[in-house]
A and B are shown apart, each in its own frame.
Chain A
């Protein structure tokens, strides 16, 4: 599935948050969005997954305007892992994941064996099968995040949107989650805070600042000290890691010897 945004803008009270964004994700690509807090990443994602209606511009999936679809049609094509507010209500992990089947079920239709197989598979892929009958409320932040990814998997959509999916996760699960997402081979758009994770897993990256695209391209093209400086106002060194062959970002904050850089050895 191919995602395309054309000149997408969105704002509140005359304040523009997203400014004329042209971005795309080709079939099977894992595309990252990076940028500082408040840069408009999440708003852009919300426009993409059809919760915010752009003030101008077009969001399309395989050439089809998402606002010409209804919520249900959209949810069969797009699965989303959002930064969710807390719920006070008790569902088991399995029930939460089974909700991913909602877009595919008719009014009086029951869950059949196929649904159960899909749910079971999603549970085991994110390694939460062993606590499938536990209450979602009792899970840690990282466990919840994995369960929500399982729900997105159970949706069997061909386009995946992830908003900070590695938040709350420890290193092992950060890597496992992104490996899993990459291996799905499903078109994916993900907002990521961790530049090194973005470098490792993304096919392409859009750098967003002030609601606009500041740079786009492969991780090697985008993740340069100059861009990181202009985006985050932070000094960084970027090298190619000998093992991964990917850019490796090291931040050099004030007081950590940045002034010695390039000095005679």
Chain B
């Protein structure tokens, strides 16, 4: 038998990679918290964190340092990690569901639906849920658009084809974007318009500890479920009939995945606005690193997606300081060219290999 790495050594290599990324995440969180107008050392950061969580360590730092680290920067950096991870996981999953490498969390109307909800709150002043109104409205908008797309894509016998999903997603997105534009156009207060636009471009600036719990829980349970079904995701990626003959109940599985990705997208968008391209880019970067097997792709997406968005957010708040860039602007500036590169790479690959037979 030829020598090839057995499961044990491959597994060990992958465990090593996960540990490395986990360490990278901790380092990224630490450094991201230290960065800002007020400089705070990494040691102080963790002393404050331990002090706040366990009560240990005497406070030899100022109140304002503690405020900045614990009330402002920590929630923001952790929210970036959670949202980045969530968007990456949704992207990887949706690319399998619609079997299209250019799919992302917003292709099924999630972004435009959330915008309608958010704009209603910001402009029409619907504050039914108090301080959570914006998040709740964005969540309802995203999942509502999602359900609409799903219902429109249903064909005979309740089957949902990937192509119909994408087409109805595009159609619904256009209509909802028009609704948003109309409301902005009709808005009278320029401050309102500014805050709407800022929200639509994505921002982690509003992060608070209270906003973290729900996204973190949704992310962890969602990712766990997806890792459990990773083999079936693999089969789905290769082809509809293949998956069916490998024992995957494809219609039912696709419905479950749509509910789950709708929930994940709605949750992430509701706390961060629409941050584009993370869900598109991260899965591809991850596949370049570890291949297409979802048992490896999903955990790496969580870690790498988190690290990526932490640093994008650092860039967003330091690049033109004291002003702050919307984080969605930064991801789009990186993501647009990436998308084009990906598309051209595919075209090249098709040319190189398509002729073989």
Given contacts A51-B244, A88-B100, 15 further A-B contacts (CB under 8 A): A71-B250, A75-B246, A82-B241, A82-B242, A84-B241, A91-B234, A91-B237, A91-B291, A100-B246, A102-B232, A107-B228, A108-B228, A110-B11, A137-B349, A140-B356
Residues of B within 8 A of A89 (CB): 95, 99, 101, 237-238, 287, 292
Chain B residues 91-129 with CB under 8 Å of chain A are 95, 99-101
Q: Do B99 and A87 touch across chains, with their CB atoms under 8 A apart? A: yes
Report 11 cross-chain contacts, Cβ distance below 8 Å, ordered by A residue: A49-B245, A71-B248, A84-B242, A87-B238, A89-B101, A89-B287, A99-B235, A99-B238, A102-B235, A139-B356, A141-B356
Question: Which residues in window 314-357 of B have CB below 8 A to A?
Answer: 346, 349, 353, 356-357
Bound-complex Cα distance A51 to B237 (A): 17
Enumerate the 4 nearest inter-chain pairs by beta-carbon distance, A residue then B residue, closest first: A75-B247, A72-B247, A103-B247, A80-B245
Q: How far is the CA of A46 from the CA of B232 in the complex (A)?
A: 20
Asked if B6 is at the interface of the complex by the 8 Å CB criterion, the answer is yes
Query: Does B190 reach chain A (CB closer than 8 Å)?
Result: no
Q: Which residues of A contact B (CB under 8 A)?
A: 46, 49-51, 70-76, 78-80, 82, 84-85, 87-92, 95-96, 99-100, 102-103, 105, 107-108, 110-113, 116, 120, 129, 132-133, 137-142, 155, 168
B residues contacting A by CB (< 8 A) are 1-2, 4, 6-7, 11, 95, 99-101, 228-229, 231-232, 234-235, 237-242, 244-250, 287, 291-293, 346, 349, 353, 356-357
Is B292 touching A90 in the complex (CB atoms < 8 A)? yes
Assembled-state Cα–Cα distance A186/B287 (Å): 37
Q: Provided the pairs A102-B235, A111-B7, A141-B356 are in contact, do residues A129 and B2 lie with their beta carbons within 8 angstroms? A: yes
CB closest chain-B residue, reference A83: B241
Cross-chain contact B239 with A85 (CB below 8 angstroms):
yes
Bound-state CA distance A129–B244 (Å) is: 26
Selected from B7, B100, B232, B249, the residue in CB contact (under 8 A) with A116 is B7
**Inter-chain contact B245/A51, CB cutoff 8 Å:** yes
List, in ascending order, chain A residues with CB within 8 A of B242's CB. Answer: 82, 84, 99
Q: Which of A89, A137, A138 has the most CB of B within 10 A?
A: A89
Q: Which residue of A lies closest to B242 (CB)?
A: A84
What is the CB-to-nearest-CB distance from B13 to chain A, in angstroms, rounded to a whole number?
A: 14
Q: A99-B238, A140-B356 are in contact. Are A82 and B7 (CB under 8 A)?
A: no
A127 to chain B, nearest CB (A): 14
A139, B356: Cα distance in complex, Å: 8
Q: In the complex, A87 Cα to B7 Cα: how many Å?
A: 26
Q: What CA separation (Å) do A71 and B244 show in the bound complex? A: 7
Are A78 and B2 in touch, CB under 8 angstroms? Answer: no
Instruction: Give A109's nearest chain B residue, CB to CB.
Output: B231
Let me know if B353 and A137 touch, CB within 8 A. Answer: yes
Q: Which chain A residue shows the least CB distance to B354? A: A86
Query: Would you give the shortest CB distance from A32 to chain B, in whole angstroms?
Result: 20
